[in-house]
Structure 1
Amino acid sequence: MSRRMSAVRKRDNGPEMAVRRLLHAAGLRYRVAWPVPGQRRRTIDIAFTRAQVAIYIDGCFWHGCPLHGTSPKANAVWWAEKIAANRARDADVTAQLHDLGWTVLRFWEHEPPPDVTASVLAVVHSGTPSSDEVSAP
């Protein structure tokens, strides 16, 4: 199990790459794995630094998607605590970025990349948060 989990990509995974390709094709330039200001070990999946827009593509398993999140039967308590800690960290990072004036958009990995891209384009081009903005997955 640990070999399988260690093989999961933190960045450059399929859903993130699909969104990045569409954003690039739309003419947008961005930073990948950009450090969260004031946090050494936290990064933004896709960052538009001038517009101060942070995009996160959250994995359904790791972040506890209400539609697709699963609970392993082996070490169930440990996994529940792990996913809860991930969600708490997500909320903390989102709050910190909001306090710094960033707009934070979080999407689930199962959301269609064209829909995610359209939401991001709307926010980046308008300079204001969209109705898709969420504080935590």
Structure 2
Amino acid sequence: MAVPRPARALNEGVRKSMRANRGRDTGPELAVRRLVHAAGLRYRVSARPLPALRRTADLVFTRRRVAVFVDGCFWHGCPEHHTTARTNAAYWAEKVRANRERDADTDRRLGEAGWTVLRFWEHEEPAAVAERIVAAVRGARDTRGG
């Protein structure tokens, strides 16, 4: 069976735009991290909650088993802000569909392993997101025991 080749940018402008998209340390993620850190919480960045599962969360509170994802509106199909790609539309529609399916699978697997999963959209107000994270982490039971 042939392995599908990744889509190639049609022009240099598109290529530069795609390279500028970050997988971590995005503006919305950094804003949330600053506020959560200022609230006194410490976390791991871009880490696997479950080492055997090849999925990384944006913030991971290992002892409290809380995994936080700040999802991009385009990449994860935000119902409010997702836009249809003008070029290579079929490829991008499939990419977003697969991302959403993987997100749901990740949520299910982490939940089954006893993790609290928090997902936010990049457009959500960072202060409100940080407040929900702080409440969830402080309300979660420490898994160290004792």
TM-score by length of 2: 0.84
CA distance in 2 between counterparts of 1:95 and 1:88 reads: 11
Q: Which consecutive residues of structure 1, in runs of 5 or more, have no partner in the other structure?
A: 129-137
CA displacement at 1:3 relative to structure 2: 2.7
Residue pairs, 1:66-77, within 5 angstroms: 66-77=79-90
Give 1:102's aligned amino acid: W
Give the match's secondary structure for 1:107: strand
Give the match's secondary structure for 2:111: helix
2:63 to 31, 38, 50: 50
- Work out whether 1:24 is the aligned partner of 2:37: yes
Give the match's secondary structure for 2:73: coil
CA displacement at 1:5 relative to structure 2: 1.0
- Work out whether 1:39 is the aligned partner of 2:59: no
- The equivalent of 1:11 in structure 2 is 24
- Work out whether 1:122 is the aligned partner of 2:144: no
Q: Which consecutive residues of structure 2, in runs of 5 or more, have no partner in the other structure?
A: 1-13, 142-146
CA displacement at 1:106 relative to structure 2: 0.1
CA distance in 2 between counterparts of 1:91 and 1:123 reads: 20
- Which segments of structure 1 move beyond 3 Å, counting only runs of 4 or more? none
Q: Cα deviation per residue 1:29-75 (whole Å; 9 max; x = unaligned)? A: 000011141123x2111000000000000000000001111111211
| Contact residue 74 and residue 83 of structure 2 kept, 8 A | yes
Give the match's secondary structure for 1:74: coil
Percent identity of the aligned residues? 56
Give the match's secondary structure for 1:62: helix
| Contact residue 49 and residue 67 of structure 2 kept, 8 A | no
Give the match's secondary structure for 2:137: helix
Give 1:27's aligned amino acid: G
Aligned residues, how many?
Answer: 127
TM-score by length of 1: 0.89
Give 2:111's aligned amino acid: H
CA distance in 2 between counterparts of 1:32 and 1:18 reads: 13
